[in-house]
Amino acid sequence: MAKNATVWEVFIQSKNGLAHKHAGNVHAADKIMALENARELYTRRNEGSCIWVVKSSEIVSSETEDSEAFFDPSNDKMYRHPTFYTMPEGSKHI
Amino acid sequence: MKEEHFQKQIDTEQKIEPKDWMPEQYRKHLIRQISQHAHSEVIGMQPEGNWITRAPSLRAKMILLAKVQDEAGHGLYLYSACETLGISREKLVQQLHDEKAKYSSIFNYPTLTWADMGAIGWLVDGAAIINQVSLQRTSYGPYSRAMIKICKEESFHQRQGYEIMAEMAKGTPEQKTMAQDALNRFWWPSIMMFGPQDSESPRTGNAMKWKIKRQTNDELRQSFIDKTVGQAEIIGLKIPDPDLKWNEERKHYDFGEMDWEEFWNVVNGNGPCNKQRLAHHKKAHDEGEWVRNAAQEYAKKQESATN
Ligand SMILES: [Fe+2]
Ligand SMILES: [Fe+2]
């Protein structure tokens, strides 16, 4: 049996000006085949204007189990949000 | 403790993701269910593929090709979802070939006439849609996302099938007979697609508690029958069940007893096309091996050229 094919994660930009969004993955031997497989699998109905493929093994992910500790530094900084501030009565356009 | 946390996630409608802790039985159940679902999409291409070269018009041929291609895509979405549970695609295909994994029995019936393309789209995809819409709310994230994508693509499948049936039902007497015959042959196998009755379905308990399934086999089956009866009436075809009757009290259709002996017979490999379907899949897989090997050799060469 052939060795397992490489898995590629697929990101699709649905139209010009928007961010690429994760769509799923495909199996393929090389990058051109990965792009073509992604096109056949994820854009049969005009879903895309651009596709990125990235080897799944190259993706680094944070651990869901540690997510509380990992994201902790942002929890206590409410002053990063505009709603934290008190604006003078009657002030506009700010 | 872990188990409690897991159940709490389920109870509060949070999706379980691949890296989350999950009970081994939950993982096993999902691998079995998702792979069976994936294999069904893939094997399901065969009965329809049988008619691509003989479609009665160019329009019909293009539609059927597009539908069959969609089914290949559904299989791939589902294999991807299944792989997130820690099993490789090669192993999944191996399990199919070793008959350790099953696929939906409906695809073990032959497609004898063009009207069967109508009956399959209308009834088989129709039944699949009922099941898949419900599974969009399944607790496992990757499975749920695959279902959402699949459901978006399915509705044309059912509509093209119903259009074929409607056209044939108002065609020549021979065409109408063909349509009725297709309905007669596919009706019972279609309603048996929802699986055994709840009273006979030992695995339902955990599947409901873990929200892998959101509705029971009997609920889904009833919902399919209630939707389909009116559609048959409109096109002047008769559902082959003398016990089929509206029940005003239940607000549902009552229906006759299914032939479970036949059901289990087909599940256990003795349907009209079980051997043929599996043999065809193995042959296609084996004959593709040199292509897969060549693609990998080519990839290796290119990599060493750029390094
Ligand atoms: Fe499908
Ligand atoms: Fe379909």
Q: Is the pLDDT of residue A1 over 50?
A: no
pLDDT at A3: 65
- B30 pLDDT exceeds 90? yes
What's the pLDDT score for residue B163?
Answer: 98
Lowest mean pLDDT among A32-36, B132-136, B197-201: B197-201
Q: With bands split at pLDDT 50, 70 and 90, how would you rate the model's confidence at B202?
A: low
Residue A2 has pLDDT above 60, yes or no: no
Question: Residue B306 has what pLDDT?
Answer: 80
Number of residues written out for chain B = 307
| pLDDT-based confidence at residue B120 (cuts at 50, 70, 90) | very high
Lowest mean pLDDT among A4-8, A38-42, B6-10: A4-8
With CA atoms as reference, the chain B residue closest to A6 would be B296
Q: Percentage helix, strand, coil, to 5, in chain A?
A: 35, 25, 45
Whole-number Å distance between alpha carbons of A47 and A40: 11
Q: Is B76–A41 a contact, with Cβ atoms under 8 angstroms apart?
A: yes
Q: Which amino acid is at B74?
A: H
Count of CB atoms within 10 A of residue B92's CB?
A: 20
User: What is the Cα–Cα distance from B236 to B25, expressed in whole angstroms?
Assistant: 47
Q: Classify strands A50-55 and B245-247 as parallel, antiparallel or unpaired.
A: unpaired
Q: Which of B16, B22, B68, B83 to mutate to test the interface with A (most CBs of A within 10 A)?
A: B83
Burial grade of B12 (CB within 10 A; 0-12, 13-18, 19 or more) = exposed
Q: Report residue A25 CA to chain centroid gap.
A: 13
Whether A57 has a pLDDT exceeding 70, the answer reads yes
CB contact under 8 A, A29 and B296: yes
Residues with CB under 5 A from ligand 1 (ion): B 41, 71, 74
Whether residue B258 contacts residue B192, with contact meaning beta carbons closer than 8 Å, is answered with yes
**Single pTM value for the model:** 0.93
Averaged pLDDT, B216-245: 97
pLDDT in tens, B256-306: 999 999 999 998 989 999 999 999 999 999 999 999 999 999 999 988 988
Residues of B in contact with A25 (CB under 8 A): 80
Nearest to B195 by CA among B181, B184, B207, B185: B207
Residue A83 CA, ligand 2 centroid: distance in Å: 48
Query: B140: closest CA among B210, B241, B205?
Result: B210
Per-residue confidence (pLDDT) for residue B73, from 0 to 100: 97
Indicate whether B226 pLDDT > 60. yes
pLDDT averaged over chain B? Answer: 95
Q: pLDDT tens, B47-98? A: 999 999 999 999 999 999 999 999 999 999 999 999 999 999 999 999 999 9
For chain B, give the percent of residues with pLDDT over 90: 92
Nearest CB partner across the interface for B295, out of A1, A29, A45: A29
Look at A2 and B293 and tell me if their CB atoms are within 8 Å.
Answer: yes
Write down the pLDDT at residue B106: 96
Are the C-beta atoms of B29 and B207 separated by less than 8 Å?
A: yes
Would you call A24 and B77 a contact, using CB atoms and an 8 Å cutoff? yes
pLDDT, tens digit, 9 for 90 and up, residues A33-50? 999 999 999 999 988 999
- Can you tell me the distance from the alpha carbon of B192 to that of B108, in angstroms, rounded to the nearest whole number? 13
pLDDT confidence of residue B188:
97
